């Protein structure tokens, strides 16, 4: 895990995202239409943490702890 700008983070896969398909929930469903639904949403997520609070430059997913420094 590392620090990302919010734009870069939004290109990463989120292990907590879920997509409904045929009555079942998946987080890795690659049919061409749902891949963007399983990506990080950056600061719109409750787990998103900024590296330096109140200075929105880069951050990380706080769901799994802080990145090593």
Is 56 a member of any domain?
yes
Is 54 a member of any domain?
yes
> Tokens for 36?
């963007």
Is 22 a member of any domain?
yes
pLDDT in tens, 6-58: 999 999 888 888 877 778 887 765 555 556 778 899 999 999 999 998 888 99
Is 33 a member of any domain?
yes
E-only strand ranges, 3-46: 19-21, 24-26
Is 45 a member of any domain?
yes
Is 55 a member of any domain?
yes
Number of domains in the chain: 1
4 pLDDT above the threshold of 60: yes
Cα angle, residue 18 at apex, residues 13 and 23 outer, rounded to 5°: 145
- What is the domain extent for residue 42? 6-64
For residue 23, the model assigns a pLDDT of 81
For residue 43, the model assigns a pLDDT of 94
Is 69 a member of any domain?
no
For residue 26, the model assigns a pLDDT of 77
Is 21 a member of any domain?
yes
**Rounded alpha-carbon distances, angstroms, from residue 3 to 23, 28, 38, 65:** 35, 23, 19, 12
For residue 30, the model assigns a pLDDT of 57
* Whole-structure pTM value: 0.76
């Amino acid at each position: 895990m590392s620090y990302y700008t919010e734009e870069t983070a939004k290109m990463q896969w989120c292990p907590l995202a879920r997509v409904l398909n045929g009555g079942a929930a998946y987080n890795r469903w690659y049919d061409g239409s749902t891949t963007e639904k399983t990506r990080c949403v950056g600061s719109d997520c409750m787990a998103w943490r900024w590296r330096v609070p109140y200075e929105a430059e880069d951050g990380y997913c706080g769901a799994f702890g802080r990145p090593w420094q």
